[in-house]
Amino acid sequence: MTALPEPARPAPPQGAGHADGYALFLDFDGTLVDLAPRPQDVRVAPGLGETLERLRDRVGGALALVSGRPVAVLDGFLDPHRFDAAGLHGVETRRAGRFTASAGADDPVLRAAVAQFADFARRHPGILVEDKGRSVALHWRLAPELEDEAIAQGAVALERMGPDWRIQAGKSVLEILPAFASKAGAVQGFLQAPPYAGRLPIFVGDDVTDEHGFEAALALGGLAIRIGEGPTVAPWRLPSPSAFRERLKAWAEGEPFGV
């Protein structure tokens, strides 16, 4: 195991058992859980919620999920466990039980894109549309031969929607979401206030959208761990979600934050 560097600056005073000066920001799909053919097929490994709760205690409460999923969907997968979370790549936030969304639901511009994608999916078996209320994802994992057509659909939709929206690329997916949203902003937001403020961020993720989180964590002197293959700015890497879940258990038991 390679030990990660200790926090370079002193952590604020914390109570007994909260001695680690880190804040943990964890992606969900492809990081905490294995990827599955369809979004609804994801399975949460037994004991993951309990492990995350122990780890949250270890870092004085400074643990948040940072995901492209809606916060409510994360809750459903991890039920009955609840965590601080940024959903939809930062459009939604729940912190200490308080939920906020920085974009309205049912925006007519987004609804038009959902309708366009649904029409495309009807004509192309294997294409899936994930309507997330404040964003929409177009998936081609079950029809990889349609990747180029799906990407073209995304470009057409974005052209109609204008500059308040952007496309987020992912694994066999593209998403359209409010232009301001990013995992970097989510991390910076959490670090504004206790129990995150003053702590060194560790961001763990597996996908293109997580690179924003990595960059934010590294810019603040923190750490970044990439799960799986692919180009990344993250200086550390683990091979798979299952390898990361093993690390999580070790961290929760008090082992140093190494990979």
Ligand X SMILES: O=P(O)(O)OC[C@H]1O[C@H](O[C@H]2O[C@H](CO)[C@@H](O)[C@H](O)[C@H]2O)[C@H](O)[C@@H](O)[C@@H]1O
| Interface pick for ligand X out of 6, 12, 17, 36 (rule CB under 6 A) | 36
Nearer to ligand X, 11 or 86 (CB): 86
| Interface pick for ligand X out of 14, 20, 25, 27 (rule CB under 6 A) | 27
Q: Please, which residues bridge with residue 93 across strands?
A: 86, 100
Residue the block writes with tokens 């007519």: 108
DSSP track, the chain: -PBPPPPSSPPPP--TT----EEEEE--BTTTB---SSGGG--PPTTHHHHHHHHHHHTTT-EEEE-SS-HHHHHHHHTT---EEEEGGGTEEEETTEEEESS-SS-HHHHHHHHHHHHHHHHSTT-EEEE-SS-EEEE-TT-GGGHHHHHHHHHHHHHHH-TTEEEEEETTEEEEEETT--HHHHHHHHTTSTTTTTSEEEEEE-SHHHHHHHHHHHHTT-EEEEESSS--S-SEEES-HHHHHHHHHHHHTT--SB-
* Position 92 contacts ligand X (CB under 6 A): no
Of 94-102, 114-122, 135-143, 192-200, the window that binds ligand X (rule: CB under 6 A) is: 135-143
Q: Which of residues 163-202 bind ligand X (CB under 6 A)?
A: 170-173, 175
* Position 38 contacts ligand X (CB under 6 A): yes
Nearer to ligand X, 68 or 201 (CB): 68
Q: Which residues are designated catalytic?
A: 27
Nearest approach in angstroms of CB 241 to ligand X is: 10
Residue the block writes with tokens 């597996």: 206
Nearest approach in angstroms of CB 163 to ligand X is: 22
Q: Which of residues 55-74 bind ligand X (CB under 6 A)?
A: 67-69
* Position 28 contacts ligand X (CB under 6 A): yes
Of 26-34, 55-63, 214-222, 240-248, the window that binds ligand X (rule: CB under 6 A) is: 26-34
Of 11-19, 103-111, 134-142, 192-200, the window that binds ligand X (rule: CB under 6 A) is: 134-142
* Position 207 contacts ligand X (CB under 6 A): yes
Q: 180, 187, 191, 232: which is closest to 211 by C-alpha? A: 232
Of 33-41, 50-58, 225-233, 240-248, the window that binds ligand X (rule: CB under 6 A) is: 33-41
Q: How many residues line the site for ligand X (CB under 6 A)?
A: 24
Binding site for ligand X (CB under 6 A): 27-30, 35-39, 42, 67-69, 130, 137, 139, 141, 170-173, 175, 207, 209
